[in-house]
Structure 1
Amino acid sequence: MNLKQLKIFPKNNYSVELKIDSTSAISKLKNCTLSKEQYVANWSNKLFIGEIKENEFELKLSKKLYADFCVVHGKLENKKGTLEIQIGKVLKIIFVLVILFIFSGIITALIQNKFEEIFSLVMGIIVLRFIFLELGFRYATKSILQKLTEIIEIKTLQKSNLF
């Protein structure tokens, strides 16, 4: 197993080809995106929350349940573009804090010679990482890619290992 394959937080990179030009795609995206500087009680009016510049954007879904699972950084030029999808910063911080809490439990169990508790704590880390983070990330990625494909009219979507 290569060290590059060992990642704490999942991340996907895609290269895309658009049916329309990037200017039209960005304007369509702006119509469906709420600015992240705005405070709105009802986020469901728009599909995304984020920031859109000339040909670059950073978006997350406006659904409260899994909005921070995926943050998309994209760049569109002509009829091509790149998308980088990763877990949001808030979720990363929460995950690291929970892992630190579990590690303190492992150290406490070692000090108190309660070796049977270490297994359950290590299993907690594994379940959090591979079930909660990975499955949640995959579900949110699929959802955000579906919505982006509809809005900016993606013709081809290819997973790339460039990054």
Structure 2
Amino acid sequence: MKIFPEIDYFIELNDDCSLAISELVNQTLSKEQFVANWNNQTFIGKIEKNEFEVKLSKKIIGEFCFLKGKLKNEKGTLKIRTGRIFKIIFVTIVLFTLSGIVTAIVQNKLELIFHLVMTILIMRFIFLELGFRIISNIGINKLTEIIGIKELKKTLHNNV
């Protein structure tokens, strides 16, 4: 099992990839731009020829996961990964919790260890996993609307 959730897909498009990429460019704000209102576009990211890396334009939700794809003719791949900011937040919380476990062992307060371990498990499985699934589904649905995904198949090596 991986610490951070991720999903890989094979996708099949309704139209040619050049049309899909041009539609995605119309709905994506460049991540190099400074904009006060990000909600005018569906995605923020960078798009090159047949490849893209985008995230949802909603402020907190968009940072949760990003979609990276590569299209060729009417087929392609899509990888959904946990965002860097949420990885940093999760690792920080785990480190604080582990330091609490060490402190509980040193102070001989072993009843606290259960609560601290449960904190790590709840953060991983409830917040990180559930949040990733919900937000990645929102991203996939919006991407499907924009580029016209006909079929979406998970690859076999997914842990989500």
Smaller-chain TM-score bracket = over 0.9
Q: 1:80 aligns with which of 75, 78, 81?
A: 75
TM-score, reference length from structure 1 = 0.95
Q: Unmatched 5+ residue regions in structure 1?
A: 1-5
Report whether the alignment pairs 1:53 with 2:48. Answer: yes
Shift of 1:64: 1.4
Q: 1:90 aligns with which of 79, 85, 89?
A: 85
Summarize deviations over 1:55-82 as a string: whole Å, max 9, x none.
0000000011311111111000000000
The 4+ residue runs of structure 1 with deviation greater than 6 A are none
| Alignment partner, residue 159 of structure 1 | 154
Shift of 1:108: 0.4
Report whether the alignment pairs 1:147 with 2:152. Answer: no
TM-score, reference length from structure 2 = 0.96
Summarize deviations over 1:103-161 as a string: whole Å, max 9, x none.
00000000000000010000000000000001100000110000011100001011112
Q: 1:40 aligns with which of 32, 35, 43?
A: 35
| Alignment partner, residue 116 of structure 1 | 111
Report whether the alignment pairs 1:127 with 2:96. Answer: no
8 Å CA contact 2:64–2:85 kept in 1: the answer is no
Shift of 1:25: 0.3
3-state SS in 1 of match to 2:90 = helix
| Alignment partner, residue 137 of structure 1 | 132
Amino acid at match of 1:11: E
Amino acid at match of 1:154: I
State the percentage of identical aligned residues.
58
Q: Unmatched 5+ residue regions in structure 2?
A: none
3-state SS in 2 of match to 1:138 = helix
Shift of 1:162: 5.3
RMSD: 0.9
Alpha-carbon distance between aligned partners in 1 of 2:156 and 2:23, rounded to the nearest angstrom: 28
